[in-house]
């Protein structure tokens, strides 16, 4: 188990993150597929979101993700994560930077290919389209929530911490604190506010109190500027990866641009050059 239930910071509306690691012969794609189907058929409480990830132990040899190695809690079996090294900082940076870019566009259903300038997901909405994701309450009703706000800003901050400060973030609760400690720019306060209010005080739900709603409106208004700030840093990182990365890092960078292309002449030229370099190295 990883996430807030693993470090005992869960709130009533937290989801449960379960990771199943299959060993040896049980790690075949067909077995993993069957396990996912079985999980989907289980009669789980409708008011709790369960997120299941299935991985093969063999994949851990290349490096264990920080939240698994440093912040997970064993439920059953042997803690095999401790046998293998932590994922390299370069791979962790790549994982988080690209994932944060992907989330920024896909979670808020922004049009693709992406092109500047970035705008609010929905400029006409009271919270600018950042609270569209629904959450299921204990009585079974679905209501909008702030989970995507926490998720997208957290991943972006985690990526920037890896890129700019060489720091791993293993727990959500540490993200805003480490950001202020190691980066400490004008976005530190926003990240703290999101964690304290969106997750802590409001427990992912939209508040009813007018003063609290005004605070949430202010948070969402500043979200766009933080996303734009992240994308400025990401563009520099993306171009550097396209020009210098090799092997798995380059492969992953090109895959992200296939899935979530950035309509930018310099970036697309770099993508074409990187593909040529990749083909040459394969031959």
DSSP string covering 167-231: -----HHHHHHHHHHHT-STTHHHHHHIIIIIIIISTTBPP-SHHHHHHHHHHHHHHHHHHHHHH
The parent domain of residue 127 ranges over: 89-279
Q: Are residues 49 and 112 both part of a single domain?
A: no
198 in any annotated domain? yes
Residue 131 has pLDDT above 60, yes or no: yes
Name beta bridge partners: 17.
2, 51
Predicted pLDDT of residue 72: 83
Predicted pLDDT of residue 158: 98
Please enumerate in sequence order all residues whose Cβ is within 8 A of that of 166, keeping only pairs 6 or more positions apart, or say none. 89
Residue 42 has pLDDT above 80, yes or no: no
Q: What is the pLDDT of residues 94-127, one digit of tens each?
A: 999 999 999 999 999 999 999 999 999 999 999 9
C-beta separation of 158 from 100 below 8 A: yes
HSE-up of 165 (CA within 13 Å, CB side)? 17
N- to C-terminal Cα distance for the chain? 42
Measured CA to CA, the distance from residue 39 to residue 33 in angstroms comes to: 10
Number of structural domains, the chain? 2
Predicted pLDDT of residue 13: 65
Q: Are residues 121 and 239 both part of a single domain?
A: yes
Name beta bridge partners: 2.
17
Q: Are residues 154 and 31 both part of a single domain?
A: no
Percentage of the chain beyond pLDDT 90 is 68
Q: Are residues 160 and 210 both part of a single domain?
A: yes
206 in any annotated domain? yes
Q: What is the pLDDT of residues 153-201, one digit of tens each?
A: 999 999 999 999 999 999 999 999 999 999 999 999 999 999 999 999 9
232 in any annotated domain? yes
Q: Which residue has the higher pLDDT, 146 or 74?
A: 146
C-beta separation of 26 from 75 below 8 A: no
Q: Are residues 239 and 150 both part of a single domain?
A: yes
Residue 264 has pLDDT above 90, yes or no: yes
C-beta separation of 84 from 66 below 8 A: no
2 in any annotated domain? no
Out of 64, 83, 102, a domain closes at 83
Residue 144 has pLDDT above 80, yes or no: yes
- Strand (E) or helix (H) holding 164: helix 147-165
User: Can you tell me the mean pLDDT for 226-237?
Assistant: 99
Q: Are residues 258 and 175 both part of a single domain?
A: yes
6 in any annotated domain? no
Q: Are residues 127 and 248 both part of a single domain?
A: yes
Number of Cβ within a 10 Å radius of residue 236: 11
Q: Are residues 194 and 266 both part of a single domain?
A: yes
Predicted pLDDT of residue 10: 63
The first and second tokens of residue 119, run together, are 């705008």
Pick from 173, 128, 166, 174: which is nearest to 148 by CA?
A: 128
């Amino acid at each position: 188990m990883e996430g807030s239930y693993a470090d005992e910071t869960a709130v009533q509306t937290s989801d449960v993150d379960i990771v199943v690691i299959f060993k040896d012969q049980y790690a075949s794609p067909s077995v993993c597929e069957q396990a996912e189907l079985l999980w989907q058929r289980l009669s789980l409480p409708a008011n709790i979101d369960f997120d299941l990830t299935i991985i093969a132990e063999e994949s851990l040899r290349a490096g264990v993700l920080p939240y698994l190695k440093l912040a997970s809690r064993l439920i059953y079996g042997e803690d095999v994560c401790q046998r293998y090294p932590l994922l390299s900082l370069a791979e962790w940076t790549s994982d988080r930077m690209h994932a944060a870019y992907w989330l920024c566009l896909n979670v808020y259903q922004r049009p693709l290919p992406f092109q500047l300038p970035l705008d609010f997901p929905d400029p006409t909405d009271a919270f600018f389209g950042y609270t569209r994701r629904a959450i299921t309450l204990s009585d079974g009703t679905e209501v909008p929530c702030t989970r995507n706000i926490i998720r997208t800003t957290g991943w972006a901050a985690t990526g920037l911490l890896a890129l700019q400060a060489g720091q791993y973030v293993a727990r959500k609760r540490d993200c805003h604190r480490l950001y202020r400690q190691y980066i400490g720019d004008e976005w530190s306060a926003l990240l703290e506010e999101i964690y304290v209010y969106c997750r802590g005080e409001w427990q992912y739900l939209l508040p009813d109190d007018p003063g609290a709603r005004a605070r949430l409106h202010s948070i969402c208004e500043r979200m766009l500027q933080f996303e734009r700030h992240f994308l400025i840093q990401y563009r520099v990182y993306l171009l550097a990866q396209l020009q210098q990365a090799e092997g798995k890092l380059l492969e992953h960078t090109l895959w992200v641009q296939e899935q979530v292309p950035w309509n930018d002449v310099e970036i697309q030229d770099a993508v074409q050059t990187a593909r040529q370099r990749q083909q040459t190295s394969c031959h």
